[in-house]
Amino acid sequence: MIDNISWLSIYPEIVLLVMGCVITLVDLSVKSARRTGTYVLTMLTLAVVAIMQANYAASGNTFYGWGNMVVSDAMGNWLKCFATVAMMVTLVYARPYAADRDMLRGGELFSLSTFALLGMFIMISANNLLLVYLGLELLTLASYALVALRRDHTPATEAAMKYFVLGSLASGFLLYGLSMVYGATGSLDIGEIFKAISSGELKHQVLVFGLVFVVAGLAFKLGAAPFHMWVPDVYHGAPTAITALIGGAPKLAAFALVIRLLVDGMLPLAFDWQQMLAVMAIGSLLVGNLAAIAQTNLKRMLAYSTIAQMGFVLLGLLSGVIGGEVDPARAANAYGSSMFYVVTYVLTTLATFGVILLLSREGFESEEIADLAGLNQRSPLYAGIMAACLFSMAGIPPLVGFYAKLSVLQALVASGDSFYIGLAIFAVVMSLIGAFYYLRVVKVMYFDKPLTATTVSAPWDVRAVLTVNGALVLILGIVPGGLMALCADAVVRALAS
């Protein structure tokens, strides 16, 4: 008999699943080339789900359902709420672009986006290795199809093939690692895995062997070096609307997956996975920032920027445990800083790609840095939003990206460990180097002559959402305390459960 708690823990997932099927069926009767009916139904569904998740998160309750396979806690519910809002914003930006490129011939964009979000929800709520893999595959399979959605566009098809091949390899790594962990512990339940490892009676070599493959699979989903090779090609080749989708909400789910598997399940092995995260963080900061300098394509530059940004997230994740000892206050500070970083990164990335999508028009892709030349003369508002986002990613105050970087660096320095302090210094140096390629784009927008006198126009909903999105990058930088406290509290509650 299934109790009420079990049903309560997956109500948002049920709504997404049912409405994803309904959206697919309703689209068969929609005649509008812009799929207005499907779009409205999708947005209403996502709005309802976002409200449900916000209510769950605000309650602060933690409960387990379906035989402990699913967990509903404050951290997971806030991440699902943010992921839903990010998906809504992405679809607002993406619809005009997709309509101009005949990507709305069917309702696949909306139905696949809904199923991709469902996959993220399952990943975030998973308390069982089977659900971890189920959610991950649902997200990745939907993402492969979305990248190839522009059927007559060769770069998109090529990007989808690369994504599929490399993604399948990474999924194999993760699945093999999870099978090794199951073989060593005898359980698929993440809580039971933690207890089994804590007992100290298991073979350490087998666990570490499985852990290596698990971390490799997680690094691929985050886009961290040396498992970053798919990011530039997929970002560049995919339709810009899909690039925005891949670069946004899925990062929240990947962060949750790292917390569930490494912190909730394998914390006694922290000494081992911290070393791997440290190497990946250093590699991501180095490769991301140095490779981005050489890019002339805006999407490839942002892809390498993403790799560098994930390096900062990893720095926060590895600083939660010192010397194998868990200090709840330090762990909450470190993981809360990482969560704050991921949320603000997604917020900034959405606005950045929103401007790129806005500047793209039928028959023209605004993908090169040179395409932004003189944007300030054509539209001071959109140039200002783009500049704010770039300054934020560079870590320049008073924008939110500065406080995100500062919180991670503070967590590293607070550890008192000389190695972590060295990592903080290295991260600052890499950020200074990385500021060059962000400032270069700002220089092009404000000081180069425009290539065209075409005015920038956009539907009212895109203008409104983009303006709010850009304003939040500044407002949350001026008053970051509320979001920081929310992230810290969510992490504390998740760790306490």
Query: What's the rounded Cα separation, in Å, for the pair 331 and 495?
Result: 9
Query: What's the rounded Cα separation, in Å, for the pair 228 and 298?
Result: 17
Other beta carbons within 10 angstroms of residue 385's beta carbon come to 23
Reference 40, options 15, 22, 58; nearest CA is 22
C-alpha separations of 333 from 25, 81, 275 in Å: 46, 22, 20
Reference 134, options 184, 177, 175; nearest CA is 175
b/e per residue 193-231 (b: at least 16 CB within 10 A): bbebbeeeebeeeebbebbbbbbbbbbbbbbbbebbebb
- Please report the pLDDT score of residue 421 as a whole number: 92
C-alpha separations of 283 from 134, 248, 322 in Å: 29, 22, 21
Query: What's the rounded Cα separation, in Å, for the pair 315 and 338?
Result: 8
Reference 231, options 399, 330, 349; nearest CA is 349
Residue ranges per structural domain of the chain: 4-496
Query: What's the rounded Cα separation, in Å, for the pair 291 and 282?
Result: 14
Query: What's the rounded Cα separation, in Å, for the pair 319 and 328?
Result: 12
Tokens of 404: 């995100």
Query: Does the pTM exceed 0.85?
Result: yes
Q: What string of pLDDT tens digits covers the 497 residues of the chain? A: 455 677 777 889 999 999 999 998 888 877 776 788 888 899 999 999 999 999 999 888 888 888 889 998 999 999 999 999 999 999 999 998 888 888 887 668 899 999 999 999 999 999 999 999 999 999 999 999 999 988 888 889 999 999 999 999 999 999 999 999 999 999 999 999 999 998 877 777 889 899 999 999 999 988 898 888 899 999 999 999 999 999 999 999 999 999 999 998 898 888 889 999 999 999 999 999 999 999 999 999 999 999 999 999 999 998 887 765 666 778 888 999 999 999 999 999 999 999 999 888 766 778 889 888 888 888 889 999 999 999 999 999 899 999 999 999 999 998 878 889 999 999 999 999 999 999 999 999 999 888 776 777 778 889 999 999 999 999 999 999 999 999 999 998 888 77
Instruction: Quote the radius of gyration of the chain (alpha carbons, Å).
Output: 22
Query: What's the rounded Cα separation, in Å, for the pair 195 and 490?
Result: 23
Segment holding 329, helix H or strand E: helix 328-359
- Please report the pLDDT score of residue 1 as a whole number: 42
Query: What's the rounded Cα separation, in Å, for the pair 86 and 100?
Result: 22
Query: What's the rounded Cα separation, in Å, for the pair 47 and 43?
Result: 6
- The distance from CA 357 to its chain's CA centroid, rounded to whole angstroms, is 19
Strands 321-322 and 63-65 come out as unpaired
